[in-house]
Structures are given as C-alpha cells and as structure tokens.
Structure 1
Amino acid sequence: MKEKMPLVEIKGLCKSYRRGNQVIPVLEGITLNIEEGEFLALMGPSGSGKSTLLNLIAGLDHADGGTILVAGEDVTSLNEAELAAWRAGNVGFIFQFYNLIPVLTAFENVELPLLLTNLSRRERRRHVETALQLVSLQDRMDHYPGQLSGGQQQRVAIARAVVSDPTILVADEPTGDLDRASAEDVLKLMDRLSDDLGKTIIMVTHDPRAARRAHSMKFLDKGVLADAPETTLSELF
C-alpha cells in the first residue's frame, strides 16, 4: 500500500530579517509535517517566530531557505503573482481582529473571496448562505459588523475563510480579542471544521485553553520547533 503523504511538508525552513547591518534569525531549520484534517496549535513566547511560520505556510512571506509543500505544490518556488493565485485557491485566513469591512454586510464580507472566481451570482449566494449556516449566522447575513458582537464577527470571518473550500485554514490568535464564552464558541466551531469536515487548521495561540482544543501542539522558541515544555503542558491539563 502506498504511504500516505502529509498535506503540508516543511523541510529545513529558515527565515531572518535585516535591521540595519544586523541580521536577525527568526526561524532556523524548521521541519514539520501536518496531516490532512489535522488541527495543529503553534505556541511559544512573543518573538519566537510563530506568526512568521504561519505567514510562510500561507504564502504571505518568502523563506530564505528550505521548502514548504502544500498538497504536493512547492509554495517556496512561486513568484508573487503565482503566490497570490495560490493563496486565493488554497488558504483561508482567520485573524485576531476579524478584518471585516465595516461598510459591507455579513453576507458581502463572506462573499468577498468568491468575487475572484468564475462562479455565477446564484452560485456565490448558495456558497455564502451555506457558510453562514455553518457558523449559525444565517439570520444575521444582512447585519453590518458594527451590529454584531465580537464572537459573531469572528464567526463571520470564519465563514469567509471557509466559503471557497480552501486546502488549509490558518488562524492567528483567533480567540485573542474575545471573552471566554465567545472564545469557547469559536473553538467549538473550529473543532467541528476539523473533526466533521476534515479541514486542516494551523492555529497560532498564546492561550493554553485554545491550544488544548487542537489535535496536536508544537512549541516555538528562538526559532526552533519542539514539543511543548512540561510547564506549558501542566497549564493545559
């Protein structure tokens, strides 16, 4: 039987930034495999490289060395135009502060990624309504972000992230701006996306309660990837 390949394969990934004459290493030889349908939490102190790694996987930044394969495609070999097209078809983004457009309704915000496709207006509407139903906001589709709670806004953002059925979902502190009850609702929804719909989710978080929801967890410190230290595990359980 042919061995199943990981959905995301990261090998020897390196990234540094230049500040004046100083080169500051951020990621140093990261190697990581992520299976299809896996819900992975990335933890670590501020400045450890978590968001940099997430941005590289999502094609928002370029690596200095190493490779990232997503569903067999080498993301690190793509130029800017190719990356933009790849992101549009393969990556759903969930941000800490929702990044909704305030003058657009929930429906219109969710529809935005589909405007880059060849779907008809009727097909777009069907996809948007399905996504909003998935996050239990079909009765709020005509509301503007300012008329929604923080938790509802984040659920609209999740609907926008999944509406085009992306290969991977990347979430950067998705519960960081929410109260505990709203955060719990969002995490339950992400559970469903992974467990019931098979979505592959890579989540950066500082919150041990959020990380506990994931299937697996990795810890970044000073640009090196490891299993979580015992102090972090004791906070989780």
Structure 2
Amino acid sequence: MSTPPLVEISHVAKSYRRGVQDVSVLTDITLDIGEGDFIALMGPSGSGKSTLLNLIAGIDRPDSGELRVAGLDITRLGEAALADWRAANIGFIFQFYNLMPVLNAFENVELPLMLTRLTRAERRERVAMVLDMVNMGDRTSHYPSELSGGQQQRVAIARALITDPRLIVADEPTGDLDRTSAAEVLSMLQRLNRELGKTIIMVTHDAHAAGAAKALVHLEKGELIHATDA
C-alpha cells in the first residue's frame, strides 16, 4: 500500500487585486510532494514561485482548489486554527533571515517555543541542541549584527527546526549569501533532509542551488511547466 503524499495540491489558482484589475498569479496548479522530498521551485521572476510557497505554508489562501498537508485541507481552516497549524507544522527560512536584531542567537531560536508548554529548562536544552546541529553552538550570545550572513542563516535554520516541523519552506535561502556560505547552507539543508527526513520546499532562481534538491518543479507565468528529478 503506497503512502499518500505529504503535500497534495489540486487545481489551485490565485490572483491579486491590482488597482481595478485582478492579476492571475497561479493557474490550475496540481502537484504532489512526498514525505522526505527536497523540492526546488524554479522559474523566472513573477512566475508564482513564492506565491505557491506561501500557499503551501498557510501564509496565504488560494482563490480555488484544495491544498492538503498530511491529509488536512488547510484551505478550510479559520485564521486562528491556521496560525496554530503553521506554528506546529511549518519551519520558515527566508532570504534575509528575519532575525530579531534585539535578540541574540539563542533567544531568536527560542522564540517559537515561547508559546509552547515547555519548561525553561526544556527550552534551553532544545535550543542548545539545534544550535549545535547547525554549528552555531559557540555563537549563542551573539546578536545578528555580530554574525556574518552565513551565520545568520544558520541561526534561521535552527529557528526553523526548533519545533520539529514536518515541512520546511525556504524562500531564496542562499540569495543574499556569497558562494562559500551558500554552499554551507545548501549542504546543511541536504543533511537535514537526508538524516532527519525533513521535507523541504525551496524557492530559488539559482540553478546551482537547485542542484542540491532531489527534484525540480518549474513554473512559468503561473503555470506548472514540468517537474523533474534533479
């Protein structure tokens, strides 16, 4: 008996209002993503990559179609339920890190745990573990301004991992990094996918970065052109 996909996207469409016009961003997208996949979403600027990622992560809602994650149609959730679902199931990695400048590395990673029932000791143990996992255990008291871009992104990866989410979504995670730092981040994502079995969906315009993924999904003008193995 085959295992159902972790993410099931069925006939999803999305448009945005711009002035007096509705501009179509995604048109009739149907795509399955399996548990443990590492997918790169590619396409030219304006192709709908980030919009699709935001729909999968529950940041935005489609105009039509169904979007199921682990069997749950997240398009039917109310705002509060959707926020709770995101917090428990999605880890976010952004191009510009989105770290809080007034918090040090430890505090930035701990932040998603503040709404949980974990004790302070349990939070500290988990934060120390994930910072060690991304080779930032010796930078826990450093603030973002005291870290390089690559180090900030590793802290952001630790923050994405801290709640042990089933799905990690990464929007241009190497877009602001030099070649060496980008290679380190991509290697780290591959290790998380390989060793921890994390399902990763990564938006990128960089063919080299996309080569780190197991499969490529190409979008153009809001349509799914093709999906291939990397």
Matches within 5 A, 1:215-230: 215-227=214-226
Secondary structure of the structure 2 residue equivalent to 1:68: strand
- 1:172-187 equivalences under 5 Å are 172-187=171-186
Please, which moves more after superposition, 198-207 or 14-23? 14-23
Q: Give the fraction of aligned pairs with identical amino acids, expressed as a percent.
A: 63
- Aligned partner of 2:205 in structure 1 is 206
How many pairs align?
Answer: 230
Mapped partners of 2:222, 2:144: distance in 1: 37
TM-score normalised over the length of structure 1: 0.95
| Aligned equivalent of 1:64 | 63
Q: Which runs of 5+ in 2 are unaligned?
A: none
**How far, CA to CA, are the matches of 1:178 and 1:19 in structure 2?**
32
Q: Does 1:136 align with 2:135?
A: yes
- Residue pair 2:92, 2:168 contacting (<8 A) in 1 also: yes
Q: Secondary structure at the match of 2:208?
A: helix
Q: Please, which runs of 5 or more residues in structure 1 have no aligned partner?
A: none
Q: Secondary structure at the match of 1:62?
A: coil
Q: CA RMSD in A?
A: 1.3
Deviation above 6 Å: which 4+ runs of structure 1? none
Compute the displacement of 1:21 (Å): 2.2
User: Residues 151-209 of structure 1: CA distance to partner in whole angstroms, max 9, x if unpaired?
Assistant: 00000000000010011000000000000000000000000000111000000001101
Q: 2:150 is matched with which residue? A: 151
Query: Match for 1:166: what amino acid?
Result: P
**Residue identity matched to 2:121:** R
2:94 is aligned to 95
The normalised TM-score by structure 2 is 0.98
Q: C-alpha separation between the residues in 2 aligned to 1:102 and 1:17?
A: 32
Cα shift readout 1:41-86 (whole Å, capped 9, x = no counterpart): 0000101100000000000011100111111111111111111111
